[in-house]
Structure 1
Amino acid sequence: MDTVDVVNRDPNNINDHLKVAFEDVLAEPDGVHSLDCVWKLSYTCFTCWLGLTYKISTLCFGICIAAEWACEFAETAFYHIWFITPFLRMLEINCSVLKKIHETICGCCLEPCCEAFGTVFKHLGKN
């Protein structure tokens, strides 16, 4: 069974766009600074509520949501394995017959006409 990495929880960086650190969300440019005590308390309040809200949300809903996503991906895999891939293979087999018919018709009907016109234009160019 696979082990879960509790340190690096996004090893494939699929959520790099979710920057939720204080410095990534709030910033005061030069010339407009709040009081230092307000800035420090804002940082403390932001990080505390961010962590607390996230932890409570994951505690209440995370396991159920993970189970739902597992069911969704299992269903997707099931449909691909048992319906979509065999259906695409069947289309590929049947379309190869249609391709052969198309090639035969073109070879019998169009190719002689094209060769004849090619010969006519070839001789016209020599005159």
Structure 2
Amino acid sequence: MAASETSVRLTVGEERVTTVDVTKGEDVDLKARDPEQLHVDLKVQFHDVFGEPDETVFSFDLVWRWAFKLFTNVKLWCYRITSLICGLPLAIFWGMYFAILSFCAIWCWEPYMKAYAIELGCVRRIFETMLNAFYRPCFEVIGYCFYNIRIQKV
């Protein structure tokens, strides 16, 4: 036998599984990095945080310019350095987390909920039988007692 005949071919949706590229040619947009508008609340600029209300409480122009430049650059570079250090490990972590979450939802929770619903079907039938045997006749009698009562406006 040839080696290819004895090897196991893994397929997903009748497509051969490889580890080459799971993105299927989809490329990341390097300009629009939040296309779903997930982080609109994080779009914070200098003027969203700082504002001097009127000329009586203005700081020196030099201070205002430098505060603007420092705020903008420190925010940018802190984010870049933090994402450089933590971005890839966190991408691995969140990829694993969502993979495990998907696995649990597909292979654990949904089958459990289906089995639970089937098991509760038996309890439901018993409960319905009890209600029909004991409570329904009482409520029907009470309904017949009040059946002919009519309220008239005087």
Identify the match of residue 61 of structure 2 among 36, 48, 52: 36
Structure 1 residue matching 2:34: 3-state secondary structure: coil
Residue 88 (structure 1) aligned to one of 76, 100, 113 = 113
Corresponding residue number in structure 1 for 2:94? 69
SS of 1:99's partner is: helix
Q: Shift in Å at residue 88 of structure 1?
A: 0.9
Shift of 1:122: 4.1
Q: Which amino acid aligns with 2:52?
A: E
Corresponding residue of 2:30: 6
Measured in 2, the distance between the counterparts of 1:117 and 1:55 equals 74
TM-score by length of 2: 0.72
Structure-1-length-normalised TM-score: 0.85
Distance 1:82 1:41 in 2: 56
Quote the Cα distance in structure 2 between the aligned partners of 1:92 and 1:113: 30
CA distance in 2, matches of 1:114, 1:48: 75
**C-alpha contact (below 8 Å) 1:19/1:25 kept by paired residues:** no
1:108 aligns with 2:129: no
Distance 1:120 1:53 in 2: 78
Query: What's the Cα RMSD here?
Result: 1.9
Q: Does 1:27 align with 2:76?
A: no
Q: Report Cα offsets for 1:12-65 as digits up to 9, x if no partner.
A: 222112133211222222131111122112111221211111111111111111
Using CA pairs below 8 Å that are at least 6 residues apart, which structure has the higher relative contact order? 1
The aligned residue for residue 73 of structure 2 is 48
Gaps of 5+ in 2: 1-22
- Structure 1 segments unaligned to the other structure (5+ residues): none
Partner residue of 2:16? none
Quick check: 1:22–1:43 contact (8 Å CA) kept in 2?
yes
Higher helix share: 1
